[in-house]
């Protein structure tokens, strides 16, 4: 079934940053939902663990230009 991951995302200084993070995550295979909260520096991702994992998602956020850390 689905997995969820919560990331701390550092460096989102305007609302469009959240859009960049969301787009970067949703480009990956196996992403069901990505919800990015710019005010709280968080990204909540629901994914299918057969196709993608937490570290791949974290790296996609970093490649988009932000510092990401897996919280839960
Ligand atoms: Mo806003 Mo974010 O001008 O990468 S889009 S700071």
- Cα(9) to centroid(ligand 1), Å: 13
- pTM for this one? 0.96
pLDDT attached to residue 49: 98
pLDDT attached to residue 32: 98
CATH no. for 3-70: 3.30.70.100
**Which has the higher per-residue pLDDT, 45 or 1?**
45
pLDDT attached to residue 47: 99
45 Cβ partners below 8 Å, 6+ apart? 4, 5, 6, 7, 25, 31, 33, 34, 35, 57
pLDDT tens for residues 22-56? 999 999 999 999 999 999 999 999 999 999 999 99
Residues with CB under 6 A from ligand 1: 13-14, 16-17, 20
* Average pLDDT across the chain, whole number: 98
């Amino acid at each position: 079934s689905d997995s969820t991951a919560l990331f701390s995302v550092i460096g989102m200084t305007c609302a469009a940053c959240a859009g960049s993070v969301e787009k970067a995550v949703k480009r990956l295979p196996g992403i069901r939902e990505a919800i990015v909260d710019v005010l709280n520096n968080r990204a909540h991702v629901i994914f299918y663990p057969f196709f993608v994992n937490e570290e791949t998602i974290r790296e996609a956020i970093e490649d988009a230009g932000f510092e990401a850390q897996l919280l839960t």
